[in-house]
Amino acid sequence: MSSHPTLYQIILTTKQVYLDLFSPVLDDICETVSFVEIEDPQAEWDSEDWYIEGHALETPNEDALKLQIALIAKSNNIPEPTISIEPLKETNWLEEMWQQFKPIDVAGFFIKSSYYQGEIPEGAIPITLDAATAFGSGEHGTTAGCLTALKELHQTFKWKNPLDLGCGSGILAIAAAKLHPVTTLAIDNDAEAVRVTSNNANINDVGPLIKAQVGDGLQDISQTFDLVLANILAKPLISLASDMAKHVETGGFVILSGLLDWQKDDVTEAYLENGFNFVKEFNLNRWITLVLQRA
């Protein structure tokens, strides 16, 4: 019997405007979920085809998945996405992925795997990420946007009690700790992400500065923060706006990402209505990162 898990790739093809409707279906069964644009320069934003791509470690129930998708489509009177489920080659896909991962430079952070044997560019802040089943390598526009926003904010603001909400691989908590060495709370509702964050924090010599724990949003959190990093999705960000207002100190900042350009107005409005002021946005290939300040 192989000791390596089989990875299943699930792809839904739908229109951009329907991504939020169907992506939660994959969130429930996949380790990672991402949106991939099928570029068509002639298409309007709401008619453009996109992939929702998920990777699962357990064999998906194809019939149940198709039924769930069909019910969502029927209840919203929209076309059903096409669905593709394929097992990927049985191998140590995590190790293989990171062996092939080429270092990237994002806002002065040099992000590499532990297999990298080359030099670190002068003046760069190295972040090492090892093979792990949690989202966040710095390549995606959402993570890159958060790192860029964090680096720029650090020029004028030195946080004292930051929170990484939905920490995934822990890359944002690690970046925050390397920029400014204070204790960062890192929360995720996935115990595996919490384990990965703790492991990556230790690899990057910031283990004592990062407290990773399982949590559901801001529930059961009593303390307040002067910086919250939240790279999740548009709908959860909107639903968190009122809780953010209670947990972010006056003058504190939130860096929000995981949203596309057509979702930014709804997310921004939710935070403006809850006492935040817009500061800046970053647009990386249509993925938006918002910076807002608590009034």
**CA distance readout (Å), 166 to 38, 90, 126, 233:** 27, 29, 22, 10
Domains 8-90 and 140-294 share a fold: no
pLDDT per residue as tens, the chain (295 positions): 444 557 888 999 998 888 888 988 898 888 777 777 765 545 444 446 788 888 888 889 999 999 999 999 999 999 999 999 988 765 444 555 555 567 888 999 999 888 788 888 899 999 998 755 445 555 577 889 999 999 999 999 999 999 999 998 899 999 999 999 999 999 998 888 898 899 999 999 999 999 999 998 898 899 999 999 999 888 889 999 999 999 999 999 999 998 888 899 999 999 999 999 999 999 987 889 999 999 9
Q: For residue 229, what are its two tokens?
A: 């990093």
In eight-state DSSP terms, residue 118 is S
Query: Distance of CA 178 to CAs 52, 109, 110, 161, 187, Å?
Result: 33, 10, 12, 14, 18
What CATH class does 140-294 carry? alpha beta
Start-to-end C-alpha separation, the chain: 58
Query: Which CATH class name applies to 8-90?
Result: alpha beta
Assess contact for 166 and 143: CB atoms under 8 A: no
Domain boundaries of the chain, sorted by first residue: 8-90, 140-294
pTM: 0.75
184-190-195 Cα angle (round to 5):
60
Tell me which residue of 269, 213, 283 sits closest to 241, measured CA to CA. 269
* Alpha helices (runs of H) in the chain, residue ranges in sequence order: 19-27, 62-75, 93-100, 141-153, 171-179, 191-203, 234-239, 241-247, 264-272
User: Helices 171-179 & 141-153, crossing angle to 10 degrees?
Assistant: 20
What is the rounded CA–CA span in Å between residue 12 and residue 151? 35
